[in-house]
Amino acid sequence: LANPQGNVQPAVTTAGWSPAGYETMAAYQVRVKADFDASARQLKEQTGRAPRIMVWPYGAFNQTVLNLARDSGMPYSFTLIEGLNTLGDSGATVRRYLLEEDTSLETL
């Protein structure tokens, strides 16, 4: 839960709420970093390779989680931000186009 009103938000971008109160920023960062580290560890155990790219659930991210993902070995992120990527981009946030059934080659 994101607040006492019962709203839900992606857990990666929102400090949690419980009847005891809101999660502190430090606790939020520890929780997210632990999740990233555990996910990376499991993927490495299953595939033999550590992940280098994060794909954000629901396209939701913020600078804090970008930094935490980088610190967990995932410096590149696929986002839902629409647009072109250029050689000068860092790759930290890779933009994309969402293709639809009627997308033509001319559109691309």
CA distances from 46 to 26, 51, 52 (A): 30, 11, 15
Q: What is the pLDDT of residue 19?
A: 86
Q: Evaluate whether 76 touches 92 at the Cβ level (below 8 Å).
A: yes
The band of 44, judged by pLDDT with boundaries at 50, 70 and 90, is very high
CA–CA separation, 3 and 23 (whole Å): 10
The mean pLDDT value of the chain amounts to: 89
**Overall pTM > 0.95:** no
CA Rg, the chain, in Å?
17
The band of 101, judged by pLDDT with boundaries at 50, 70 and 90, is confident
pLDDT digits 0-9 by tens, 48-96: 999 999 998 888 899 999 999 999 999 999 998 988 899 999 889 999 8
